[in-house]
C-alpha cells in the first residue's frame, strides 16, 4: 500500500533516512532506531484523500482530532469581524492525528493574518488567545462570514498555509499543515448552530460541524457525540 505524504514532510523524512543509514553503518541497533524514527515521521506526515459530503453549504471540520468544549468567543481581533461572541469550535490534534488542514466551506478568502505568540498546550482554552496563530476570514458561498484559525501548540513550532487573499476555495481542499500537535478553531457565522458535541472525533474535510439554515438547535439535525455517532 502506498502512503501519501505531504510535501512539507519530505525534507524531514529525507534527513531522517540519511541519518538512519549513517547510524546503521556505525552500529546496527542504532540504525534500527533511526529507521523507526524515519518511519514514524513518514506516518506523521501522511496525507490521505478525503471525500467531502454532498451537503449544500455544509461547514466541515478543518482538522482531524478531538473536539474541545464549545464556547462563545469573539473572533481574533486582527480579522476585524467585531467583538460579538460567536460559537467557536476547536479541534485539538495530538501527535498521532493527521495534521493536514482543510478548508471548512466553499467561498472566497477575504483576510489572512499571522500573529506570533506563545506555545502553551493547545488543549487549553487560553491557546486561542495567547498562542502563535494564522487566522483567515472568508465569505462562504451562501454569503455568510466565517473565520478559521491555525494555532501552534506546546510542541508545534511551524504553521504552514497556502492561502492568499482573494482565493476562491472549496470545502475539503487542503490549505496547510501544523507540526507537531496543535489546534484549529472555527468561528461559526451568526445564528448557525453546531451539530457536533465536545469529545467527538473529527475528520478533516468529511465531518460536518454545521449547516447554515438547518434548525439544529431545535433538533432539525442530529449532533455528533463523543463516540462519533448521532
Q: Please state, in angstroms and rounded to a whole number, the distance separating the CA atoms of residues 135 and 219.
A: 31
Question: Which listed residue (41, 61, 128, 182) is catalytic?
Answer: 182
The reply to whether 182 belongs to the active site is: yes
Going from N- to C-terminal start, the domains of the chain cover: 7-44, 59-218
Is the pLDDT at 100 greater than 50? The verdict is yes
Q: Is the peptide bond before 28 cis (omega within 30 degrees of 0)?
A: no
- For residue range 163-177, list pLDDT tens digits in order: 999 999 999 999 998
CATH architecture of 59-218: Distorted Sandwich (2.70)
Is the pLDDT at 189 greater than 60? The verdict is yes
- For residue range 191-229, list pLDDT tens digits in order: 899 999 999 999 999 999 999 976 544 333 456 665 454
Q: Please state, in angstroms and rounded to a whole number, the distance separating the CA atoms of residues 64 and 221.
A: 22
Task: Mark residue 218 as left, alpha or beta (left: phi above 0; alpha: psi -120 to 50; beta: remaining).
Answer: alpha
Tell me the pTM. 0.81
Q: Which long-range contacts (CB under 8 A, 24 or more apart) does 116-119 make?
A: 117/152, 119/152, 119/153, 119/154, 119/155, 119/156, 119/157
What percentage of the chain carries pLDDT values higher than 70?
86
Rg (CA), the chain: 19
Number of residues that make up the chain = 230
Q: Which long-range contacts (CB under 8 A, 24 or more apart) does 35-41 make?
A: 38/13, 41/9, 41/12, 41/13, 41/16
Amino acid at each position: 500500500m502506498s502512503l501519501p505524504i505531504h510535501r512539507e514532510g519530505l525534507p524531514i523524512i529525507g534527513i531522517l533516512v540519511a541519518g538512519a543509514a549513517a547510524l546503521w553503518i556505525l552500529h546496527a541497533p542504532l540504525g534500527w532506531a533511526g529507521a523507526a524514527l524515519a518511519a514514524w515521521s513518514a506516518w506523521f506526515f501522511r496525507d490521505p484523500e478525503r471525500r467531502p459530503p454532498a451537503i449544500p453549504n455544509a461547514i466541515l471540520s478543518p482538522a482531524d482530532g478531538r473536539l474541545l468544549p464549545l464556547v462563545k468567543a469573539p473572533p481574533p481581533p486582527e480579522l476585524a469581524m467585531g467583538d460579538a461572541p460567536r460559537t467557536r469550535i476547536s479541534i485539538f490534534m495530538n501527535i498521532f492525528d493527521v495534521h493536514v488542514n482543510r478548508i471548512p466551506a466553499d467561498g472566497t478568502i477575504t483576510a489572512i493574518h499571522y500573529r506570533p505568540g506563545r506555545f502553551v498546550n493547545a488543549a487549553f482554552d487560553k491557546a486561542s488567545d495567547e498562542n502563535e496563530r494564522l487566522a483567515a476570514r472568508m465569505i462562504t458561498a451562501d454569503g455568510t462570514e466565517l473565520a478559521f484559525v491555525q494555532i501552534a501548540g506546546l510542541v508545534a513550532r511551524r504553521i504552514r498555509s497556502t492561502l492568499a487573499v482573494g482565493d476562491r476555495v472549496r470545502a475539503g481542499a487542503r490549505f496547510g499543515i501544523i507540526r507537531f500537535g496543535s489546534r484549529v478553531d472555527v468561528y461559526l457565522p451568526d445564528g448557525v448552530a453546531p451539530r457536533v458535541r465536545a469529545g467527538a472525533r473529527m475528520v478533516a474535510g468529511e465531518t460536518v460541524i454545521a449547516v447554515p439554515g438547518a434548525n439544529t438547535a431545535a433538533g432539525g439535525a442530529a449532533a455528533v457525540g463523543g463516540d462519533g455517532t448521532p
